[in-house]
Structures are given as C-alpha cells and as structure tokens.
Amino acid sequence: MSGHGLPCVHCGLCLDTCPTYRLLGTEADSPRGRIYIMEAIESGELELDAQAATHLSRCLGCLACESACPSGVSYGRRIDEFRPQLAARAGTEGILKNAAQSLYTNPSLVDLGLRGAALLDRFGLGALRRQAPGLGLLPSASTSGATTDNDGADWKVTPLRRSRVHQPLRARLRVALLSGCVGDQMMPQINRDSVEVLQRNGIEVVEMPGQGCCGALALHSGRRDEAVALARANLAAFARIDDVDAFVTSAAGCGALVRDYDHLLAGTDVGEEAEAFSALCRDVCELLVEVGFKTPSRPLTSAGPVAYHDACHLLHARGIAAAPRKVCEVATGSAPVDLGENNLCCGSAGSYNLDHPVLAEQLGRRKAVLARQSPPTTVAVGNVGCMLQIARALELEGVSAVVRHPVQLLAAAYRQSAGRG
C-alpha cells in the first residue's frame, strides 16, 4: 500500500469516469479491473500474460479515477510503478513503440515532420495527413494558430546571472520557465506568450540553462530509470538557480510530473532538492491567479464564444480547474462554457496516440462532436498535448473552431489593448 494511498475497496465509483471503460464497457478496462489484475499478479495468482498486459497498457494515466475515488487510492503511482513490467514483456512491439516515440521526441525529426506537414497542408493534402496518428497530430496554422500569433521579439527571458544574491524581500517576482521539449518545438508560441504575459504583469522571467524533458513520456512508457535520469538532470539545472520564486510551465503534463519529482526521487541522495523543486513548480495560469494579473483594457471579443476543456493533468493530477477559466474570462470578457464531458480525457495522454491510435481517436472525436453541438469559436485547454489532439479531432470532424491555451488568449488581449493585436 505504501505510496499508493489507501487500499482499493472495489466500490466501483470510479468506473464511469474512466475513458477506456466508457468506450469498451469491460471491467478489465476499468480502474477497479486494473487494480484487481495488478493485485492478482503481485500475489502470484495471475501471470502478466498478453491479455493482462493489454488491459493494463490501455490505461491513459489520466487520473480521472483518482478524482472520483472516495478512498484515496493513488492509482496513478501504482500503475506507473507497474509500467516497467509491462515494458519488459512488450518485446519487439515495445522496442518498435519506443523507437516510434524516440522519432517523435527527436528535435530534428520533429522539425522535418513539421515542414512536411506544412507542405502537405499547402498542397491541400491536410485532410489526408490528419488521418495518420503521428503525422496527423502535428499542428496546422488554421486550427492551432501555430504560426500566426506573437513572434516573441519583445519578450525575451533574462539570461541567468549566477552571481545574483538571494533577495527574499524583493517586490518583483522572479520565475524560471520550464520550457519542456517536444511541445515547445511543436507550439513554441505558447511559451512565448507565457513569457509575454508574465512580463506584462511585472514578473521577471529568467532562463534555466541545462533543463530538458521532464521525463513524463519515459515514465508512462515504463522507462522509469530514464525518467529518473531526466528528473535528476532538471534538478541539476535547478541547483544552478538559487533565486527564483517559482518554476513555471504551460504544459500540464510536465507540471504534474515535476510536482511529483519529490515522490519519484524520494529516498535518493537528491530527495530534499526534489521536494524543494516540486514545491516551487506552478502552472502558468495557477501562478497568474495566485499573484494577481492585469485585466486588459479591451477584452478579446474576436475569440468568440470560448469552450474550456480541462486537461487531465491540471484537473485530476493538480486539482486546478478555476485558474485557467479565470484567465479565459479576464482575456475575453466573459466566462467560458465547459466543452462538455470535461472530466473525460481527450485521448492525448503522452504517446497514447502512437500506442493506441484507435482508442485515442475515438476519445478525440468525442470532443469535436461536443464542440459542434454548442459551437464555440475557440476551444481553450491548458496543455499542448491536448491542444494538438483536439485540433486534429476538430479537423477530422470538420469543425471549424480554433484551439488556444488560455495564456494565448490573455497575451492576444494584452496585445490588442496595447494596439498591437
């Protein structure tokens, strides 16, 4: 039970919140079913055979079951600790999946993919490439605003000055941006807009040399050692900065894992540093609401009706629901509506699109169908992976809404108010 919270009492209250149970209707594809399977394997009653591995690997790690569980079962940590066993038995299939994932996280290949996608889009083949699970996720300018917003020229992070002395009483907040890896490459304008919004609110943003991938993709693919190594590398980067009030991320998935570094590295030689790092990590909307932010003089009415969708790693992993909605409301002048089924994962979930493309697409299309039913002009969601997934689903379903991070709406409202919009 240690590290997993309280034991599961098999009440089943989590079942209806589970995306795979909702799609497949089978107990073994529910949180309770998976816990039964893991318990049976741990007690030696069941072997981790192909069938058991299939049910376990279909879990998105969305943590909706944790939100629903009245008994405090830490399901996410439990399945994460089980994933290395799943990876070990995956054999050739696992090697191929890891290779596909590496392609997806290789900056040069992602760059090549982005150029290829732009070319296909330009020649009117966007609809065709959207059908492919990997290529289809790459953003197109029409739905994600990938190339149309701020060029970031005026909003640069401050180079780190190592000799800086800690100033706990300074009036001006000083933060470092956790820029992430593949998400930053695919939609760099989200981090640029985050920097702009923070600086427009008088917050200094400093660079964090040496930072890299948070390790979430590796952890969820069962490569726990690799995730630990990546977390250690980020801690080393953290150790070079002794004077920030927070580490800010615009990617909910990264934020959720960094907040859990204290657990991932508990009992190691860097356990205390991990605790300090985790405690200082903030989602960008969370920080803005925590410290207060300016209302733009003119709301961004051009965004049209906004429907907000909760990213699982904000809602379920961090319990953050109000802050991104507040940012949308201040940016556009009216509170966003919910997209619908807001506690149900969109199917993004790290590399789930590559591992389980059919289930991922079904979940994504549900969001697009909801967007069509109460047509929003903009779907707002606070995580780059969800944005890419929902943007693809909207195109597959022929829904013309655009997808934006809440902080992009606020940045656009500030620019419009300053006469640059």
Write out the residues near ligand SF4 by the rule CB under 6 A: 8-14, 17-20, 31-32, 34-35, 59-65, 68-69, 71, 73, 75
Least CB distance from residue 36 to ligand SF4, whole Å?
9
Smaller CB distance to ligand SF4: residue 58 or 200? 58
- Per DSSP bridges, beta strands 306-309 and 378-381 are parallel
Smaller CB distance to ligand SF4: residue 35 or 254? 35
CA dist., res. 6 & res. 353, Å (int): 31
Smaller CB distance to ligand SF4: residue 19 or 253? 19
Least CB distance from residue 344 to ligand SF4, whole Å?
9
Sheet of 378-381: strand order equals 337-338, 306-309, 378-381, 402-404
Least CB distance from residue 35 to ligand SF4, whole Å?
6
Angle at 340 between CA 337 and CA 345, to 5 degrees: 125
Smaller CB distance to ligand SF4: residue 62 or 251? 62
CA diameter of the chain: 68
CA dist., res. 288 & res. 292, Å (int): 5
Least CB distance from residue 34 to ligand SF4, whole Å?
5
Smaller CB distance to ligand SF4: residue 8 or 197? 8
Smaller CB distance to ligand SF4: residue 117 or 320? 320
Least CB distance from residue 31 to ligand SF4, whole Å?
4
The three-class DSSP label of residue 249 is strand
Concatenate the DSSP letters of all residues of 138-167 into one string.
Answer: S--HHHH-TTTS---TT-PPBPP-TTPPP-
CA dist., res. 197 & res. 292, Å (int): 12
Least CB distance from residue 270 to ligand SF4, whole Å?
28
